[in-house]
Amino acid sequence: MTTISTDSQMLKRTSEIKKENTMKRVKVIIRYLLLSLLGLIIFMPFILAFLGSFKTGAEIIAFPPTLFPEKWMWRNWPDLFNTDLGGSPRLEGSTSIGLIVGLFAFYATFFLTAMSNQQEGKGVPLKIGLPISILLIGITGYVISVYLGSSFDASLILRASTAIALMLLMLIALGIIGMSEPDWGRVLLSLFGSILVAGVVTWLFAQMAISIGGGRFTRWLFNTALLSVVRAFLQLIFCSMAAYAFARLKFPGKKFIFGFMLASMMLPGAVTLIPSYILIAKLGWINKFYSLVFPGIVVAFGIFLLTQFLKAVPRDLEEAALIDGASYFQIYKDVILPLARPALLTLFILQFQAMWNDYLSPLLYLNTPDMWVLNVALEVFKQQYVAQMNLVLVGAIVNALPVLVLFFFFSRYYIEGVSYAGVKG
């Protein structure tokens, strides 16, 4: 008797558990359905725009709107690249593109070569090495200003401000290498080589920019991609340098500078919008890439992100290296940079996207068709092709695709970065 009752109880219980399980399963299915529906709604504008980009100019503004195109106009996409907006490329714009890439090439080559393999050098002492290096940088600055003068009719102030800005950045690189009591023969050789490489790269990219032509869609794509990549790379170098100082080194005034940096992150961009424009105009950098690259070469947000990351990383390795007599630059290059790789990737992706999506600064500073980035060009494109919403949509999608693709591949890094975004403001 008792055994039967327990059996039936058991049966009852298992059926209850089964019921609960099915309830749970139904709940999970409802959740998935709800999420899919939400995803579809959120993605709807993109889907509609993508389908719309294949419609004819008439169908796209017809009522009632259709979901799928009646006639698939594959031609819309290649048509985008045949737009005749703009004019012939201007030399000065192309030169500014070349020099910005050249700056990047200089930093990359110099930092990579100046300190690698500390072998027996030619024994050039500081007394000779430093003056010759500075002379070399001075000559480079002079060559840059002459180059700016010869390749187009640049005003004196543009030539001077650009040459000085580039020379200062080269001197900083020299100073950082010089800190570690290097073999100056090697430094000289590396400096000379880097300037040569940078020169060749500058010339190559200037030629490439000229050959791509002005005002066409390809040129805008080229401008946007170049600006985004180069600026994000330069930010990695300069932000990580500052972050290393903040996270690891002791120096007077550290607390004040760090506090100042945090405060500057909260300064709304609108406050300095107009005076920044005046400054850039006075420097002669309007319609040059310098106007977007130099002020953005290092950002407080990037320094903050990297500093926080580095502070969480143990320092055993560096202490061992310091005892072994490594210089601060060697530690930065051989220990800190490899350690910070995940944070650097996050920063690169976020800053690449920030430049690619930026609208206000390019709108302010770039004003001829051959210098535009996609965001600015699209607006004029819209006015020019006002009756052809389909082409505007193609342009918008082409603009969105690179960032979306990058995002889908590296979404983990984006999302890590956003958890810091609470402080981005």
Partner 1 sequence: MAATVASKKSSIWRNARARREAIAAYMFLSPYLLVTIVFTVGVFMFAIYVSFTEFNLFSTPEWVGLKHYKSALHDIKFIRSLVNTLYYAIIVVTLQTILALLLAVLLNAPMRAKQFFRTIFYAPSVTSSVVISFIFLWLYLKTGYVNYFFSKIWSLGGAEWEAINWLNDPRGLFQLILAPFGVDIPSSQWYFRGPSITWMAIMFQNIFTTVPTFMIMFLAALQDVPPSLYEAASIDGANKRQQFFRITVPMLRPIIFLIVVLGTIGTWQVFDQVKLLTAGGPLNTTLTPVYLIFSEGLGINGPPRMGYASSRAFILGAIIFIFTPIQRRFIEQGTEQY
Interacting residues with partner 1 between 188 and 247 (CB under 8 A): 238-239, 241-242, 244-245
CA distances from 379 to 41, 360, 399, 418 (A): 26, 12, 12, 29
Question: Min. distance of Cβ 403 from partner 1 in angstroms?
Answer: 5
Does 39 contact partner 1 by CB under 8 A? Answer: yes
Alpha helices (H) in 213-340, listed in sequence order: 217-248, 254-265, 273-283, 290-293, 300-311, 316-323, 328-331, 337-339
- Report the C-alpha dihedral over residues 277, 282, 283, 288, rounded to 10 degrees: 50
Among 33, 37, 200, 279, binds partner 1 (CB under 8 A): 279
Question: Min. distance of Cβ 385 from partner 1 in angstroms?
Answer: 11
Does 64 contact partner 1 by CB under 8 A? Answer: yes
Among 138, 313, 382, 384, binds partner 1 (CB under 8 A): 382
Count the site residues for partner 1 by CB under 8 A.
Answer: 105
User: Of 360, 358, 380, 361, which is closest to residue 369 (Cα–Cα)?
Assistant: 380
Kind plus residue range of the DSSP H or E element containing 15: helix 2-52
Among 82, 119, 123, 275, binds partner 1 (CB under 8 A): 275
Helix (H, G, I), strand (E, B) or coil at 67: coil
Question: Min. distance of Cβ 358 from partner 1 in angstroms?
Answer: 8
Does 1 contact partner 1 by CB under 8 A? Answer: no
Rounded to an integer, what distance in angstroms lies between the CA atom of residue 144 and that of residue 159? 8
Q: Which of 81-89, 127-135, 171-179, 184-192 is the region at the interface with partner 1 (rule: CB under 8 A)?
A: 171-179
Q: Which of 6-14, 75-83, 206-214, 387-395 is the region at the interface with partner 1 (rule: CB under 8 A)?
A: 387-395
For 170, counting Cβ atoms within 10 Å of its Cβ (0-12 exposed, 13-18 middle, 19+ buried), the class is buried
Does 268 contact partner 1 by CB under 8 A? Answer: yes
CA distances from 369 to 83, 355, 398, 421 (A): 12, 18, 18, 34
Site string for partner 1, 315-354 (x = CB under 8 A): -------------xx--x--------------------x-
Q: With contact defined as beta carbons under 8 Å apart, do 144 and 96 qualify?
A: no
Question: Min. distance of Cβ 312 from partner 1 in angstroms?
Answer: 10
**Residue placing its CB nearer to partner 1 in the complex, 12 or 254:** 254
Does 179 contact partner 1 by CB under 8 A? Answer: yes
**Residue placing its CB nearer to partner 1 in the complex, 147 or 219:** 219
Rounded to an integer, what distance in angstroms lies between the CA atom of residue 376 and that of residue 393? 15
Kind plus residue range of the DSSP H or E element containing 249: none
Question: Min. distance of Cβ 378 from partner 1 in angstroms?
Answer: 6
Rounded to an integer, what distance in angstroms lies between the CA atom of residue 163 and that of residue 181? 28
**Residue placing its CB nearer to partner 1 in the complex, 131 or 175:** 175
Does 96 contact partner 1 by CB under 8 A? Answer: no
Question: Min. distance of Cβ 298 from partner 1 in angstroms?
Answer: 5
Question: Min. distance of Cβ 389 from partner 1 in angstroms?
Answer: 6
Among 289, 309, 356, 365, binds partner 1 (CB under 8 A): 356
Q: With contact defined as beta carbons under 8 Å apart, do 188 and 126 qualify?
A: no
**Residue placing its CB nearer to partner 1 in the complex, 201 or 355:** 355
Q: With contact defined as beta carbons under 8 Å apart, do 89 and 214 qualify?
A: yes
